[in-house]
Amino acid sequence: MNGAVENGRDGAAGWQPREGNRQRAMWEVAKMEAERPGRPRTGATSESGTVGENRSSTGLETDRDNDSSAQWKSRLYGDGMLVERSPMLEVLRQSIKPERLIRLESVLMNRCGSVTLLLENLFDAHNGAAVLRTCECFGVQYVHVLESIETFQHARTDRLTRRGITMASDQWLRIYRSYDIDECIARLRVGGYTLVGTALGDARSESILRVDFEAMDKVCIVLGNEERGLSAAMRARCDRLVHIPMVGFSQSLNVSVSAACILYQLYQSGRIRPDLRGEEMRDLYTRWIVRANRNAKHLIAKHGFDFDEL
């Protein structure tokens, strides 16, 4: 149960975007986009092959009219760059098309680490998958799950339709699992997060539109079990409790829908913005290059590179 009915109109202004924050945070990305070569016609070719729609199982889809990458130079990788050259990355990057490297770097430069989610004992794999996909779409890099009762699952495909649910989005996220509530909360406290839990029918719960998330250095949105909602123990550990205001007969939303609504509001307001530190980006860059290369396991073993997280 992750929502509540609230009569009347409440804080509609809270949904307005803060364009200044987002523009400043995305300045570097904008510069990278502006400095790329001109756009070719759809289906045009470059030295690396066709530049057009290229949907892959790794989730690094390229735009239909993606830029020519023949003269593209990395803004993150190289001598004196954020990510220094290494033998392993040199080998792995050689077999990844330049347009996919462009896509990878662009996504990485838009990642947010100051907003995260904590999922308490979700049991439905489809909900788990939908929440992860939403996090990835909005650039939320870290997800925490508490499995003190239920084991967290996220189905990559629907059992009946065989259609993708996560769309391989889970492989680009860092998921931290905990089995003890105190251990889970301690990790978030050390990270400096303010815990904002979703709760229905609690006297402490306020409309999410009234919360000033900009005043919080780091934010952790806490979502509860599909049937039980947040446990009493988790509510007691949250700094604030919120609900999504609604005007219909239904008093709650599916947990994955609640996650989407909340993250969209944070994204639209500019609170979800690029803010990863250099060391975080270096670590993710290496992991993503490995995952973007379908032959990574073979190449790493062949050259004897030290990387055990395949």
CATH for 216: 3.40.1280.10
pLDDT at 31 over 80: no
pLDDT computed for residue 308 by the predictor: 78
**Count of structural domains within the chain:** 2
Examine the domain organization and report whether 96 and 160 are in the same domain: no
Let me know if residue 60 belongs to a domain. no
Examine the domain organization and report whether 192 and 106 are in the same domain: no
Examine the domain organization and report whether 157 and 241 are in the same domain: yes
Examine the domain organization and report whether 240 and 131 are in the same domain: yes
- Output 42 or 291, whichever has higher pLDDT: 291
pLDDT category at 69 given cuts 50, 70, 90 is: low
User: Closest Cα partner for 143 from 109, 98, 175?
Assistant: 175
In this structure, what are the phi and psi dihedrals at residue 108, rounded to the nearest 5 degrees? -60, -40
**Strand ranges of the sheet holding 240-243, from the earlier edge strand across to the other edge:** 174-178, 142-146, 115-120, 219-223, 194-198, 240-243, 206-207
Let me know if residue 119 belongs to a domain. yes
Let me know if residue 69 belongs to a domain. no
Q: Which domain holds residue 299?
A: 74-111+282-304
pLDDT at 151 over 50: yes
pLDDT computed for residue 60 by the predictor: 64
Let me know if residue 51 belongs to a domain. no
Examine the domain organization and report whether 142 and 261 are in the same domain: yes
User: Closest Cα partner for 255 from 226, 234, 230, 220?
Assistant: 226
pLDDT at 32 over 70: no
Q: How many helices (H) and strands (E) does the chain have?
A: 10, 11
- Express each pLDDT in 263-305 by its tens digit: 999 999 999 999 999 999 999 999 999 999 999 999 999 999 9
Quote the percentage of the chain above a pLDDT of 70: 73
145-154 average pLDDT score: 92
pLDDT computed for residue 251 by the predictor: 83
Examine the domain organization and report whether 248 and 121 are in the same domain: yes
pLDDT at 85 over 50: yes
Residues 197/202/207/212 CA torsion (nearest 10 deg): -50
pLDDT computed for residue 41 by the predictor: 36
Let me know if residue 300 belongs to a domain. yes
- Express each pLDDT in 159-200 by its tens digit: 544 445 445 788 999 999 999 999 999 999 999 999 999 998
Let me know if residue 200 belongs to a domain. yes
Residues 6+ apart with CB under 8 A from 204: 235, 240, 241
pLDDT computed for residue 161 by the predictor: 44
pTM above 0.85, yes or no: no
pLDDT computed for residue 300 by the predictor: 94
Let me know if residue 29 belongs to a domain. no
How far is 56 from 275, CA to CA, in rounded Å?
27
Examine the domain organization and report whether 208 and 149 are in the same domain: yes
- Output 71 or 250, whichever has higher pLDDT: 250
Examine the domain organization and report whether 229 and 145 are in the same domain: yes
Examine the domain organization and report whether 288 and 144 are in the same domain: no
307, 298 contact by CB (below 8 A): no
Examine the domain organization and report whether 132 and 174 are in the same domain: yes
Handedness of CA 38, 40, 42, 43 (dihedral sign): negative
82 token code pair: 């954020």
pLDDT at 232 over 60: yes
Examine the domain organization and report whether 216 and 296 are in the same domain: no
What is the average pLDDT score of the chain? Answer: 81
Examine the domain organization and report whether 97 and 190 are in the same domain: no
Neighbouring CB atoms inside 10 A of 236's CB total 10
Let me know if residue 21 belongs to a domain. no
pLDDT at 223 over 60: yes
How far is 303 from 41, CA to CA, in rounded Å?
39
